[in-house]
Structure 1
């Protein structure tokens, strides 16, 4: 009798456990299927040359007829990107289990911060989320990082490698400090002559950053010519102009060499990469 009671209790425990496990199983919907995003978040840079691909996964054993996926998009700045499919409807063809939403960032020259896009699955007839539980990867966040930085003159301080066109390739170094009183950068050894050059930076139009050579005004001398005296760097007239980048402090400097009697022919172009 004792053995029968023990067996009865054991059987009851198994039935209770099976009942609990049955209740914990996710509701996978018809034919055991669900939709989810491949990742909970994605990141792409504003100036990326390649679009961002967001995967939509169809969890099922088979896909004989194809699946229609509906999704919604909410973004900080819709003008900062394009999205495809644009109508919020994605088709996963028969026999396939992955669909793709493509986001192409639109680059600008403004310091306007990162942009966030939230893409949410919106299907009523197919369970959502990993294993159809509706909890994970039913939406994904895409961050478009801003590649433009505010102009901070002091951030340009440091040592740079000089690439002088027509002369050398990274054969000497240029030191840059910031003169706050005159709001200019002080470039030592720009022409590999040990001289000093003063430049101002203007980023009021990020699409057209400007460099203003102020050496003559502030007494900066590239070198001293044995015949004509002091030689300084000045802005060229027309043609190629200098430019710079605020995020990595890269500078592409184009200037003329001038003396009190006039300017030498041609221009000098030196690119400075921060070390």
Structure 2
């Protein structure tokens, strides 16, 4: 008799422990669910489109799925979104659709900005992996500012020109040596510029012509990479040949220095250095 009593007590203990355990959570996503292809991305301001792909997971899609989404951000002026309606359609028979985020290059030094796309209702389908509404139910996209601080006024002034061939049979002489000339240039703000990155280069009076092209040349400072471009393409130097430079740089330290280097036609590697006087 005692043997049966002990067995009964043991069973009661087992049942009491089992009743204290939580029921396992089971997600019923047999009809399908929607999620993002990834949870985060980062793009620079001037890099073009970012496509956020919404994926239909599990189940079939015989009639199409309508997916609603919202976007939260501190600065909506930094990007555009398509579709603008806040609803994207996954066509019947398909299993993905795109929410396209396009970064806007505003030429302002305003720092990075983050936007978060959140999936919400979707034809009564749950969101997130397995429909749990957590992972991959939203996607964060960071738009990286490509504009760095630049004091364009610091580059206004008169510059001494130092130029030379850096390789080949002509090195280390420059055009000034070959033609017995002397070069100096003036840099002024471009009155048509609104970005604060452009200057006009002219030859100083009383010196030989170094910057050619028949008139003032507009040069742009690409502030984040610290490089230079000429708005009309490669410049002509010394009334000689188009200088197809392959590298450029500038220094904002006093005195300001501007430098371009690369091949000058077939005459060898060449560079010019403008140093503010």
What TM-score comes out, normalization by structure 2 length? Answer: 0.61
What CA distance in whole angstroms lies between the structure 2 residues aligned with 1:238 and 1:186? 19
Q: Does 1:273 align with 2:262?
A: no
Q: Does 1:148 align with 2:147?
A: yes
Q: After TM superposition, list the pairs within 5 Å mapping 1:1-275 onto structure 2.
A: 1=3, 2-13=6-17, 15-16=18-19, 19-22=21-24, 25=25, 28=27, 31=30, 33-49=32-48, 51-123=49-121, 125-152=124-151, 188-189=162-163, 193=174, 200=187, 202=189, 205-206=194-195, 209-213=198-202, 231=208, 233-234=210-211, 236-238=213-215, 241-252=218-229, 254=235, 257=238, 268-271=242-245, 273-274=247-248
Contact 2:116 2:138 in 1 (8 A): yes
Contact 2:203 2:209 in 1 (8 A): no
What CA distance in whole angstroms lies between the structure 2 residues aligned with 1:270 and 1:197? 20
Q: CA deviation at 1:77?
A: 4.5
**Between 207-216 and 104-113, the greater mean CA deviation after superposition:** 207-216
What CA distance in whole angstroms lies between the structure 2 residues aligned with 1:131 and 1:38? 13
2:126 partner SS? coil
Q: CA deviation at 1:106?
A: 3.2
In structure 2, do the counterparts of structure 1 residues 136 and 54 end up closer, same or farther at CA, with 3 Å as the change threshold?
same
Q: CA deviation at 1:186?
A: 5.9
What runs of 5+ residues in structure 1 fail to find an aligned partner? 154-179, 218-229, 258-263
Contact 2:236 2:243 in 1 (8 A): yes
Which whole-Å deviations, capped at 9, do the CAs of 1:188-222 have from their partners, x for residues lacking one? 326662977556474753387224346558xxxxx
2:223 partner SS? coil
Which whole-Å deviations, capped at 9, do the CAs of 1:132-168 have from their partners, x for residues lacking one? 3333333322222222333257xxxxxxxxxxxxxxx
* Count of residues in Structure 1 that have an aligned counterpart in Structure 2: 224
2:22 partner SS? helix
